[in-house]
Amino acid sequence: MFGDIAAITCSNGDHNLVLIDLPTMEQRRVIHRGRGPGEMIIPASFHESDGKGILYDPNMSVCVSIDVEETYNTGEAVMDTIGLFSKSNLKPYYFCKAGEGFVSGNALDDGVWYSYFDSSGKVLSNVRAISFPEIQGTGLDFRRSLMLSSVYASSPDARKVCVANVATAALSFADNNGGVLTEYKRYEISPPIMISKAYGTVFSPDSKDYFRDIYATNDKVYLLYSGNPLQGGDIPSYEGRYVVEYDWDGRVCRLIELSHTISSFYLQGDNLIALTTFPDTKILFFATE
């Protein structure tokens, strides 16, 4: 949310981003899909930092900062390139901006869950890998893929970082001192359920999705909990009905149960503004008090 403007990435169509003025529901579609100047191929990891929208194109390894209100008013994307990872072997996919750099998974180091990257993709610090015994001895690519399947958030003042895993109930809190991450609290609550097949160890059909979206303030961290089966089930695994509120000491403050499942969310005062794509795509508003 940027004032009264909601910003949602588009998975298909001619543009990558749709801006919606909530009082009028008027829409602007911006950032044309393509490889030319001011265009992007795939929109990913859209979030807010320093009052700007942060959007990443993993296909081109480019991150941009968008002035959302000015973009809405002009109908043209007002943006600056703030990260260029094309020359680095460590290209992030999902990530968050934290101060001058970015927090994301580390695909090349088996002993690392997530890292702090500068704007060129150089790794400045690491946090150790998820250590459930159930995933030890599985294939290297599998373990890396599992840890990359995480959601990332920084406090607005960039002093703290929270990372949560989608495929396991693992949650990490770390201090950020100018790009040096120091983990101070970790939960490894529920491992994935694994089965062995002829071609390797894989998730059981009984495995679940856990943390699907994340939002942080300087005081609290909010995590969307799915708990839905990875495979099958009546509700898609990317949708969840519960938002868990933590403080930055890693303590659970409250559990917010919603009347409808959602796939992503934002908090504005006492209101939770969310997106659902099941069974139809809608913007939903919830009072959290």
pLDDT tens by residue, 199-235: 677 888 889 999 999 999 999 999 999 999 988 888 9
CATH of the domain at 121: 2.130.10.10
Tokens of 6: 């909601």
Residues 91 and 78 in one domain: no
Give the pLDDT mean for 16-21. 90
CA distance 268 to 274: 11
C-beta separation of 39 from 29 below 8 A: no
Amino acid 257: pLDDT: 96
pLDDT computed for residue 70 by the predictor: 93
Kindly report the average pLDDT of the chain as a whole number: 91
Full residue range of the structural domain in which residue 234 is found: 87-287
- Residue 151 and residue 76 share a domain: no
Nearest to 160 by CA among 116, 199, 109: 116
Bridge partners, 256 (sequence order): 243
When pLDDT is cut at 50, 70 and 90, the band that residue 82 belongs to is very high
Q: Which of 117, 173, 105 is nearest to 144 (CA)?
A: 105
32 pLDDT higher than 70:
yes
pLDDT attached to residue 186: 98
In this predicted model, what pLDDT tens digit does every residue of 145-181 receive, in sequence order?
899 999 999 999 999 999 999 999 999 999 999 999 9
246's enclosing H/E stretch is: strand 240-247
In a shared domain, residues 15 and 93: no
Query: Do residues 78 and 94 share a domain?
Result: no
- Residue that finishes a domain, picked among 84, 114, 149: 84
What number is the average pLDDT over the span 67-80?
Answer: 92
Whether residues 210 and 238 fall in one domain: yes
User: Does 113 score more than 70 pLDDT?
Assistant: yes
Cβ atoms 173, 162 nearer than 8 A: yes
Q: Give the domain-ending residue among 84, 101, 122.
A: 84
138 with 9, same domain: the answer is no
